[in-house]
Chain A
Amino acid sequence: NAGVTQTPKFQVLKTGQSMTLQCAQDMNHNSMYWYRQDPGMGLRLIYYSASEGTTDKGEVPNGYNVSRLNKREFSLRLESAAPSQTSVYFCASSGYRGGDSPLHFGNGTRLTVT
């Protein structure tokens, strides 16, 4: 039982390059999330998907797009990377749509944009 799996673990991009962060969960969870974590800023929500077929913007969506490919997979795309997007990205899932549903996080992707 892997839980939430993210790939890649590390990535270095040049400004303007694009890439997709992959996330998959095997817990049959309905809701999935993408957060970014920056020093002193906590965890900020980029996008979320309450259920298969829906996606919504979170607190910091600019410069990102997402795709809920199916119930298991939720990808995050950077179309034109900028140095401000250097961060650690966490995917998470929760069992049901609701503010009190515990989040299960992946191990993170450390992204550096030069």
Chain B
Amino acid sequence: GENVEQHPSTLSVQEGDSAVIKCTYSDSASNYFPWYKQELGKRPQLIIDIRSNVGEKKDQRIAVTLNKTAKHFSLHITETQPEDSAVYFCAASQSGGGADGLTFGKGTHLIIQP
């Protein structure tokens, strides 16, 4: 089955700086890569996703890049703000796969220092 590794487990950056979280996956058949954000005490929520037919996707201050050859994808947050503090989870799946398809990474705790 799929295995998703996520690094780092904790990331501390100064407010206004950029943050990058990296994930690798093992199954070359995976073609859908979402990112979920979980604020303290709240539920995970989808913030951005990318499919394997594109290499990069942006939404305001966040972007995701995908390298299919190397089987890794990354979340980039620019101009970080206090509200970006949260745990971020990457995941991978096959769009044609079954309902159990999403495999999550173990999460990155992003801390924005004032």
Q: Write the residues of chain A forming the contact surface with B, with a CB cutoff of 8 angstroms.
A: 31, 33, 40-45, 48-50, 56, 58, 90, 94, 97-103, 105-108
Contact = CB atoms under 8 A, between A and B. Distances in A.
Contact of A40 (B36, B98, B99, B106): B106
A34 B9 CA distance: 24
Contacts, number: 69
Contact of B106 (A42, A48, A100, A101): A42
A49 B98 CA distance: 11
A94 B9 contact: no
B94 A99 contact: yes
Contacts of B42: 107
Interface string B12-43: 00000000000000000001101010000011
Closest 8 CB pairs of A and B: A99-B101, A99-B93, A99-B97, A50-B99, A100-B95, A100-B32, A42-B106, A105-B43
27 contacts: A33-B99, A40-B9, A40-B107, A42-B105, A43-B89, A43-B104, A44-B104, A45-B100, A45-B102, A48-B99, A49-B99, A50-B98, A58-B100, A90-B43, A94-B99, A97-B98, A99-B94, A99-B102, A100-B32, A100-B49, A100-B95, A101-B99, A105-B44, A105-B45, A106-B43, A107-B42, A107-B43
B50 to A, nearest CB: 10
A27 B108 CA distance: 30
